[in-house]
Chains A and B, each alone.
Chain A
């Protein structure tokens, strides 16, 4: 019988907190089984061993924020059969995309004594703005269960079973009382993609959308509800300008309220 070649997986990092790639190491119970099924060919956070590409799957974390990184992602695409982005930074530019609404020069001057040493792009952009991406996994951080599902799906040549409906569905299934209706707390759940398990409403707070916009979100309607809850226009801008600020529906809604 022909030996089945184990697929090679690589993990790449751009501007990020490392939390999404850490999710792989957080698979404490599954980690050794995963390492039996695949070859972890490049994953600097976990190993100093490096195996040359091409790779069957590249998991890419982080957003593009420097000229060097804008070039590096093309090289990674060329040596990857399948490229999957993991997390809000890689799929929407991340929290650091808040710079995209401001003049980045002011940001540099605010943080660094020697701005002339800083090499950075004006905007923090998702990977898909630069290269073709096979699949985008949402979340800040991603759900490790969804990550295992996506890797499993690609290794078996099927479509990942990742829902694109809203957090509200998860909330209802858990039997949570709606925090917005019952307690008047602003909640981004209605426009946010499911996947976290509706943790925030389960802990008695509104969702702040770490998973970003769901498919066809009605942000305008939700913003009107926020106005009825007496949120100021500035607060509405801040609500949409979080960890997925540069995702298009959120960006547009925040800009509407900034005017």
Chain B
């Protein structure tokens, strides 16, 4: 009989505070718990009685890495509640700021949080001693993504220009043109990143995921589209809660996302890629093919290549938008409040982010519901751990722990956004 416990009490190189625990009994996985001990912050509670216009500023504070995603899901939800549609250059600028967020967040994840796992370093700074050019390339890519967010949003963390109806201020054509050369460099660097990530050694693991993401008829999705899954879901954003729920599982007090009629699902780059491969640009498709990825990716460790491919797409999309940009007459359209319910889904770098608000005719928020990507992926993370450990029981404890951490970091889990997770107590017997 062989029993052991693999655990990490404070997971490093993720955003926020989490731990995991794997129990092996008689050479089989007896229990797996991925848990979050982020203190509750009650955003959904104190959003009540705030103005509908405050939602993008307040919800940005849920997460320091992907504030744009929170701003975008909230403005779309508010506009739906008020019956307003934002189109034309303002809609394009929203895609553009999202490009910036994907570039900076994916570069941070690929180079600083995840690559050290594959190359055997504790962190990117140690990695920089042996791979200085690679780390510098990653930092520069990240900076270009951030510069785009700063130009449109005012600053990289918690940008200030996004508002319901558009922006407080929009850039001139001349200002946007300053990003062309850096983005051209970034595109080449992103293509290089795809090549480099494709040479890494990937643990062998394939899972039959239900991929959930947005899907838009003409575009690789950021802000708009239907919510689709690889197992048959195809719904309006407003129907989200009819098909997805957050539940308490028996062994855990934390909320976990689930498809109501089935089980766990996967949101994030791999889901977007696998559901929307055809919408990528030719360059991104070609890079993906040359890296050995198929049109569907089922190995969670390969999400690092998928992120690199998405960076290629985001650079190209940004360049396209800048080229076609005509400055709108006004930076926003008026959104007079009315009584109603609005839903917003957008594609945060790490996956689908759902917001729902109920507001009154004066624009006061009556109810708020926010389902972040990490909550949706929590169950999938546990299942990945389980599948990985079952296949690799022969590994030493040290190696198993390392790969388990790596498997969690595949998700770039942004645990701070678990502002409404419950505290989990673990039995360490």
Contacts and interface: CB of A to CB of B under 8 A. Distances in A.
Interface of A: 13-23, 25-26, 28-29, 31-32, 35, 40, 44-49, 65-66, 69, 94-96, 98-99, 102, 104, 106-108, 110-114, 117-120, 140-141, 196, 199-200, 202-205, 208, 210, 235, 238, 242-243
Nearest to A27: B139
A15 to B, nearest CB: 4
Contact of B124 (A19, A26, A46, A114): A46
Contacts of B154: 199-200, 202-203
A111 B44 contact: yes
A-B pairs, top 3 by smallest CB distance, nearest first, are A19-B64, A47-B123, A48-B12
Contacts of A32: 125, 128, 135-136, 139
Nearest to A118: B40
A25 B39 CA distance: 23
Contacts of B339: none
A18 B62 CA distance: 9
A106 B248 contact: no
B389 interface: no
Interface stretch (B47-55, B76-84, B225-233): B47-55
Contacts of B142: 28
Contacts of B16: 13, 18
A111 B40 contact: yes
Interface string B13-24: 111110000000
A48 B331 CA distance: 44
A17 B39 CA distance: 11
Contacts of B163: 205
Nearest to B167: A203
A13 B331 CA distance: 37
Interface in B164-190: 167-169
A47 B420 contact: no
A114 B422 contact: yes
Nearest to A87: B64
Nearest to A61: B64
B15 A18 contact: yes
B392 interface: no
Given A107-B46, A117-B423, A45 B14 contact: yes
Given A48-B123, A113-B248, A26 B17 contact: no
B405 interface: yes
Interface in B129-153: 135-136, 139-140, 142-143, 146
Given A44-B12, A111-B44, 13 more contacts: A18-B15, A26-B157, A32-B136, A45-B12, A46-B112, A46-B125, A98-B42, A99-B46, A117-B253, A140-B158, A203-B168, A205-B169, A208-B57
Contact of B122 (A22, A47, A196, A235): A47
Given A13-B17, A17-B416, A117 B112 contact: no
B13 A46 contact: yes
Report which residue of A20, A28, A199, A202 has the largest number of chain B beta carbons within 10 angstroms of its beta carbon.
A28
A25 B126 contact: no
Nearest to B60: A17
A35 B163 CA distance: 37
A112 B420 contact: yes
Interface string B22-40: 0000000000000000111
A35 B126 CA distance: 10
B169 A95 contact: no
Contact of B61 (A26, A95, A117): A95
A48 B122 CA distance: 5
13 contacts: A14-B39, A18-B65, A102-B46, A107-B45, A110-B44, A110-B45, A111-B45, A112-B422, A118-B423, A202-B169, A203-B167, A205-B160, A205-B168
A203 B160 contact: yes
A47 B57 CA distance: 30
B385 interface: no
B121 to A, nearest CB: 9
Contacts of B293: none
Contacts of B42: 96, 98-99, 104, 107-108, 110-111
A52 to B, nearest CB: 14
A210 B17 CA distance: 24
Contacts of A48: 12-13, 122-123, 405
B10 interface: yes
A210 B67 CA distance: 15
A45 B168 CA distance: 32
Contacts of B112: 25, 46
A133 to B, nearest CB: 19
Contacts of A23: 157
B156 interface: yes
A204 B157 contact: no
